[in-house]
Structure 1
């Protein structure tokens, strides 16, 4: 899910990427996706945290 979101953010940009796009690319229903991360902003922060953890 994080990889799908990152790919979309890179290709389309943050503002153009919709939660539905991330769910579809992740092969998840929108309802299931919203259980994990219901806000695009939260998703972006999770990506940033993951990047920081990998660098340490």
Structure 2
């Protein structure tokens, strides 16, 4: 189960980075903000999951 949560966190980071890049190309500050929030949330979730697994 821990590996699945890690993969989900990595996919969320990839989606967030894609949103930031696409928002920059489309000149959309809202999409960039949502992408950045998704990246930060996924990193926090991934770190929390990794630390609890020890």
Give the TM-score, by structure 2 length: 0.39
Give the TM-score, by structure 1 length: 0.38
Task: Please identify the structure whose Cα radius of gyration is greater.
Answer: 2
Larger RCO, structures 1/2 (Cα 8 Å, 6+ apart): 2
Which has the larger share of helix? 2
